Amino acid sequence: MYFTDAHEELRQHIRRFLEKEVKPHLEEWERTLFPDSILARFGELGFLGLRYPPEYGGQGGDYFSAVVLAEEMARAGSGGLGMAVHVQSEMATPPIFKFGTEEQKQRFLVPAIQGTAIAAIAMTEPDAGSDLAGIQTVARPADDGYVINGRKIFITNGARAHWVLVVTKTDRERGHKGYNLIVVEKGTPGFTVTRTLEKLGMHSSDTAELLFEDCRVPAGNLIGEPGDGFKDLMWELQGERMIAAVGAIAGAERIVDYAMEYARNRQAFGKPISQHQVIRHRLVDMGTKVASVKAFVYETARRWGEGEYPVREITQAKLLATQVAVEVADDAIQVLGGHGYMREFPVERAWRDARLARIGAGTDEIMKEIIAKTYGL
């Protein structure tokens, strides 16, 4: 219904690549971070531009090409790397493509698709996460450009990025009309990576705090029309939440499959634990949750890919998929018992990695507030 033969061919191509060049290194990268060279390899193979037109180095695919990539990244168990790839291809670059000028697409989008430039998007601040209207990073017009002052935190790819799409306020008095999205390039005076943060999961990716002190950027780095930054950011967040839902439910499906296989082979009280009703019913509940949410995620992804703007459904999909991912990972730990708590088994890392998705791109609580508004509540 959603996948063509071309999608399945792409899936096999991605799967072979991940099996050969990514999975053997995942444990090492959990300790050391993945190298920049692997993102370059993704670009070389065309995986960072699956949905972009060929004139920018993309593959010209549809949205389900991105779904295939997200599913295969989840299947490989590469949470941190998968997040970095999605930041590159589904979060930082879409606003450049949709709102940027031709010159900006050549400067920023093309190298990101090629994998020769690593991209990041910087929204969250130490005192403004869910409340994006409360950000304090200011971009003051000056000469032929802007001077940026402020701090951003929890930025995926932030430590290694060649350019960062920064959410700024230019005019505090204009409310939502006073925001701008501005690209800040690595090496710009006044732009500093102050520290790389340690975190519960997603250990293979870098998460950074960024500082802007009288950071001067040219007017040509403004993405979109002046004052449209908040509106453009709200559009970006729909794509971010959609791909988060896809990856979360694919990761959950992987863990359910693993827990079922484990239960078929693990013996207790003289028989496989899958034959004990308490375990069997738990596995059934896990599988049923995943199947139902996956169907909803696919249908919502179809609508988004066809150009609709289904805010309620995207928000519901993100909320449900990320919650289910954490729930089934926790259930899988229970099924495996002590083994589930050990790092040598994949469910431990799956639980740690899955937990982030209920915070990033909008917390559960913010998702519920958005959904409530769509119901007129």
| Cα–Cα dist 19/339, whole Å | 24
Percent helix / strand / coil, the chain, rounded to 5: 60, 15, 25
Q: Which of 109, 117, 144, 167 is nearest to 220 (CA)?
A: 144
In the three-class reduction of DSSP (H, G, I as helix; E, B as strand; rest coil), residue 212 is classed as strand
What torsion, rounded to 10 degrees, do the Cα atoms 210, 216, 221, 227 define?
90
Residue in the block written with tokens 């710009």? 188
In the three-class reduction of DSSP (H, G, I as helix; E, B as strand; rest coil), residue 182 is classed as strand
Catalytic site residue from 240, 253, 313, 348: 240
Residue type for position 133: A
| Cα–Cα dist 136/184, whole Å | 17
In the three-class reduction of DSSP (H, G, I as helix; E, B as strand; rest coil), residue 295 is classed as helix
Count the residues in the chain. Answer: 377
Q: Name the strand (E) or helix (H) holding 201.
A: none
The span from the first CA to the last CA of the chain, in angstroms, equals 34
Q: Is 240 one of the annotated active-site residues of the chain?
A: yes
- Could you tell me the two tokens for 90? 């589904």
Which residues are marked as active site? 240
